[in-house]
Amino acid sequence: MKPNFVRFVCISDTHERLNELCPRIPDGDVLIHCGDFTNDGEKWQILKFNKELQTLPHKYKIVIAGNHESGFEGNEIWTLRNLKRNGKGTDKGYKFLTNCIYLYDTSVTVILLSY
């Protein structure tokens, strides 16, 4: 990592296997997880991901939900889901993401200070 540069590291589709992938994720200033960190959005899956996120060294961690994070979308009509996803997920599951900045139809400004 060079001084006076910002390194973004973008990942997605870790599907409950972030812990296995952690050693291969490069360090950086901002980690962006572009969704599908779970298979079904179940609470235990979210908590597992949240715990594993904490082990990564990035200064900022930004996460959005993917289609596998069932229940994250507030206005979702659960009866329109396909059978495989029926009954799966966690209503407002994002509230269990305490080790990152969770974005949904919003943005964030991060400030990195160099010394």
C-beta closer to Mn ion: residue 7 or 85: 85
C-beta closer to Mn ion: residue 7 or 17: 17
Residues that bind Mn ion (CB under 5 A): 13, 36
Work out how close the CB of 15 gets to Mn ion at its nearest, in angstroms, rounded to a whole number. Answer: 7
C-beta closer to Mn ion: residue 13 or 76: 13
Amino acid identity of residue 91, one-letter, is D
- Whether the CA torsion 97, 88, 20, 109 is positive or negative: it is negative
Work out how close the CB of 115 gets to Mn ion at its nearest, in angstroms, rounded to a whole number. Answer: 38
Work out how close the CB of 113 gets to Mn ion at its nearest, in angstroms, rounded to a whole number. Answer: 35
Number of Cβ within a 10 Å radius of residue 60: 16
Work out how close the CB of 35 gets to Mn ion at its nearest, in angstroms, rounded to a whole number. Answer: 7
| Contact indicator for 67, 37 with CB cutoff of 8 Å | no
C-beta closer to Mn ion: residue 14 or 90: 14
DSSP codes, 21-50: HGGGSPP-SEEEE-S--SSS--HHHHHHHH
First to last CA, the chain: 14
Name the residue with the smallest CB distance to Mn ion: 36
